[in-house]
Chain A
Amino acid sequence: MTEHLLEVDDLFVEFRTRDGVAAAINGVSYSLDAGQTLAVLGESGSGKSVTAQTIMGILDMPPGFITGGRILYKGKDLLKMPESERQKIRGAEISMIFQDSLSALNPVFTVGDQIAEMFQVHRGMSKKEGMARAVDLMEQVRIPAAKERVKDYPHQFSGGMRQRIMIAMAISLDPKVLIADEPTTALDVTVQAQIMELLQDLQRERNMGMILITHDLGVVAGVADKIAVMYAGRIVESADVLELYGKPRHPYTQGLLDSMPRVDSKGEELYAIKGLPPSLLRLPPGCNFNPRCPYKQDLCLQEVPQSVEVAPHHMSACHFWQEVARD
């Protein structure tokens, strides 16, 4: 088997809280190649962000504990590396942009200072060199009048422009992997379109691998190469984008697709997945999705379904995937 750029292999993460142990990630595996966009799709609490934080090494530990699995970057296990080595990878080789740009940027430093710091810390440049690179990067992310605006503070930018600053910081050291955690969720739809366009262009120019974490099925359909759908800390289905939207083979994916109102048709009553996502403190026995599933049978209460290849590169973790077919 060829080596992937990044590979998450059977990862387990739990949070030990006062109320008990929350099983946040329960055996997640995915891989990413250069130039590829992997979308990790899921609702709040599905573990999509926790996986990303574990890859970055920014998970709060405690309360978080990694209880199993490997994260291979260029064949080396990040989880076994000493912190000093991980620091060289974090931000430089694998970088991340966050949803809330106002709280991710430091309000008391200019945006130029913050971008330049990347070069000062990782590349040993002087402040002056760093600032020159900052202007350069701000132009690359299409911020108008970058030369003047480099001395502005985060609050002086609009939400969309701040997100561009974050992207500038994230790509400053030419990372091989970019993790974008809900990068457009807080933005208006016209600005969202601008930012997604920018991310795609940068990815193409630099041949980066991108992990796009989102709950938005629309955004995913526009940019992803392949998709992993997460539910209660597990990947329930993964496939190439066309395959997944065209032939979902897991009831949860199918339900999500059917519950989306669409701008291009009026549609009838929406399909609604009944019930609520489970508490991670008390996951249901067997398949985690069984309390909400229309295909449920006795087997689903007893056995956790294993991920099986239902078509080339298409995995589904459902006992009855053959019955799940979209009309």
Chain B
Amino acid sequence: MTDEPILQVKDVVKHYPLTRGIVFKKQIGAVRAVDGVSFDLRKGETLGIVGESGCGKSTLARLIMRLEDPTSGEIWFEGEDMAHLGAGAMRAKRRHIQIVLQDPYTSLNPRMTVGDIVGEPFDIHSSVVPKGDRKKAVQELLEVVGLNPEHISRYPHQFSGGQRQRIGIARGLALRPKVIVCDEPVSALDVSVQAQVINLFENLQDEFDLTYIFIAHDLSVVRHISDRVGVMYLGKLVEIGDESSIYEHPTHPYTQALLSAVPVPDPVGREDRRRIVLQGDVPSPANPPSGCRFRTRCWKAQEICAQQEPPLVQIGTRGGQYSACHFPQDLDIVANEVPTGALDLSQMPEE
């Protein structure tokens, strides 16, 4: 791993317009799915992105793949701004960035054989593998991801969930990409199969020199696989840093609340375990709170939080950790440090 960025996301914004009327459509607002996110992806690393449903992490994945056009912002990859490339140039570029999707049941075409699914990228990028060698290339890919190459003419329904996810990974690997965006790639899998697929991701990274963006809601999985971790809340990156900084020295109250809510698979000492239980639900991204978006659920919120949006600034002495909070405080939540004034467990949630 080097510090050299392979991909740079610069202030990317995606707003989905909310309209009223059919003939005379007019825009009455926007869902701010991603609202100004910037980060560098370093060559060879795994960057985990965590956050709850609706925080914009999947939209971010689609923007990086340019399956969606950003409302504004830039995405730099190998000296070009992918957010503004034309269709032809984009198609050539996309070869190097691939995606593995969450649901192995809906992301594979049920009418295509495994061979066709994994080999389809070669139809579009025909220069990668000569036509005569394609079957062999597909069989090699199946073998790499731990599937039987003889199953090349089977259909997706003949495979289990974990095997289907391997098919999706083989398809993602077909064009020898440099970056793979993994959008919740193990959340649909059972525990015993999940471990197999996580190990596969790690082995492939070493073998093919891959850089991952690993998006997931499971903080334990993200810690295991990531070198650096970014935490998203309501379309914003609220904290980003090395895996050990984020998990052992989180400074943003939302990161702390998330970490404290993760159940630890160990019953020893569970009576003493403290949890920060957040009030209520995530506000609507169509109408986010002013200032800091987390302030409506934050135990530290003061006047300034409603007036000024805290910028993502470097924090601490470890270097490379950035936090967007007016009152950051370094706490080892996982080791049971409790912030002063944090919410009591028995308090009523509000909506």
| A221 x B264 contact (CB < 8 A) | yes
Taking the complex as formed, is A205 at the interface, i.e. its CB lies under 8 A from any CB of chain B? no
**CB-based nearest A residue for B278:** A190
Residues on B with beta carbons closer than 8 Å to the beta carbon of A246: 268
Taking the complex as formed, is A22 at the interface, i.e. its CB lies under 8 A from any CB of chain B? no
Residues on B with beta carbons closer than 8 Å to the beta carbon of A142: 348-349
Residues on B with beta carbons closer than 8 Å to the beta carbon of A271: 195
Q: From residue A231, how far is it (CB to closest CB) to chain B in Å?
A: 10
Provide the bound-state CA to CA distance between A231 and B315, in Å. 48
One digit per residue, 1 when the CB lies within 8 angstroms of any chain B CB and 0 when it does not, for chain A 162-196 equals: 00000000000000000000000000111111101
Taking the complex as formed, is B265 at the interface, i.e. its CB lies under 8 A from any CB of chain A? yes
Given A158-B281, A272-B195, verify A263-B334 contact (CB < 8 Å): yes
Q: From residue B228, how far is it (CB to closest CB) to chain A in Å?
A: 13
Q: From residue B265, how far is it (CB to closest CB) to chain A in Å?
A: 4
Provide the bound-state CA to CA distance between A256 and B261, in Å. 21
| A216 x B263 contact (CB < 8 A) | yes
| A270 x B195 contact (CB < 8 A) | yes
One digit per residue, 1 when the CB lies within 8 angstroms of any chain A CB and 0 when it does not, for chain B 91-109 equals: 0000000000000000000
| B265 x A260 contact (CB < 8 A) | yes
**CB-based nearest A residue for B243:** A266
| A144 x B267 contact (CB < 8 A) | no
| A269 x B199 contact (CB < 8 A) | yes
Residues on B with beta carbons closer than 8 Å to the beta carbon of A20: none
Report the interface size for chain B: residues with CB under 8 A from the other chain.
Answer: 53
| B247 x A263 contact (CB < 8 A) | yes
| A189 x B264 contact (CB < 8 A) | no
| A221 x B265 contact (CB < 8 A) | yes
One digit per residue, 1 when the CB lies within 8 angstroms of any chain B CB and 0 when it does not, for chain A 131-162 equals: 00000000000101100000000000010110
| B190 x A44 contact (CB < 8 A) | yes
| B220 x A262 contact (CB < 8 A) | yes
Provide the bound-state CA to CA distance between A77 and B123, in Å. 63
Quick one: which of B267-289 are within 8 Å of A by CB?
267-268, 270, 273, 275, 277-278, 280-281
Taking the complex as formed, is A62 at the interface, i.e. its CB lies under 8 A from any CB of chain B? no
One digit per residue, 1 when the CB lies within 8 angstroms of any chain B CB and 0 when it does not, for chain A 211-228 equals: 000011111111010000
| A273 x B247 contact (CB < 8 A) | no
Taking the complex as formed, is B113 at the interface, i.e. its CB lies under 8 A from any CB of chain A? no
Given A160-B281, A263-B220, verify A257-B202 contact (CB < 8 Å): no
| A263 x B264 contact (CB < 8 A) | yes
Given A144-B350, A161-B351, A264-B334, verify A192-B261 contact (CB < 8 Å): yes
One digit per residue, 1 when the CB lies within 8 angstroms of any chain B CB and 0 when it does not, for chain A 60-102 equals: 0000000000000000000000000000000000000000000
Residue among A201, A259, A267 with max Cβ neighbours from chain B (10 Å): A259
Taking the complex as formed, is B177 at the interface, i.e. its CB lies under 8 A from any CB of chain A? no
Q: From residue B64, how far is it (CB to closest CB) to chain A in Å?
A: 23
Report the interface size for chain A: residues with CB under 8 A from the other chain.
Answer: 50
Q: From residue B316, how far is it (CB to closest CB) to chain A in Å?
A: 19
Taking the complex as formed, is B259 at the interface, i.e. its CB lies under 8 A from any CB of chain A? yes
Q: From residue A197, how far is it (CB to closest CB) to chain B in Å?
A: 6
| A260 x B191 contact (CB < 8 A) | yes
Taking the complex as formed, is A30 at the interface, i.e. its CB lies under 8 A from any CB of chain B? no
Tell which of B224, B281, B349 touches A270, judged by Cβ atoms closer than 8 Å. Answer: B224
| B257 x A190 contact (CB < 8 A) | yes
Given A264-B334, A267-B224, A276-B160, verify A245-B267 contact (CB < 8 Å): yes
Given A190-B277, A194-B277, A266-B244, verify A242-B267 contact (CB < 8 Å): yes
| B267 x A222 contact (CB < 8 A) | yes
Taking the complex as formed, is A255 at the interface, i.e. its CB lies under 8 A from any CB of chain B? yes
Residues on A with beta carbons closer than 8 Å to the beta carbon of B192: 43, 255-256, 259, 272-273, 277
Taking the complex as formed, is B329 at the interface, i.e. its CB lies under 8 A from any CB of chain A? no
Taking the complex as formed, is A284 at the interface, i.e. its CB lies under 8 A from any CB of chain B? no
Taking the complex as formed, is B193 at the interface, i.e. its CB lies under 8 A from any CB of chain A? yes
Q: From residue B330, how far is it (CB to closest CB) to chain A in Å?
A: 17
A190-B52, A192-B263, A277-B192 are known contacts; what are 4 more A-B pairs with Cβ within 8 Å?
A188-B217, A245-B267, A262-B224, A264-B335
Q: List 14 A-B pairs, Cβ < 8 Å.
A: A43-B192, A144-B348, A144-B349, A188-B52, A189-B219, A189-B258, A190-B257, A193-B260, A215-B190, A218-B265, A222-B270, A259-B191, A262-B223, A270-B198
Interface positions of A (Cβ within 8 A of B): 43-44, 142, 144-145, 158, 160-161, 188-194, 196-197, 201, 215-222, 224, 241-242, 245-246, 255-257, 259-264, 266-267, 269-274, 276-277
Which 5 pairs of residues, A with B, have the shortest CB-CB distance? A218-B263, A261-B224, A259-B195, A188-B52, A43-B190
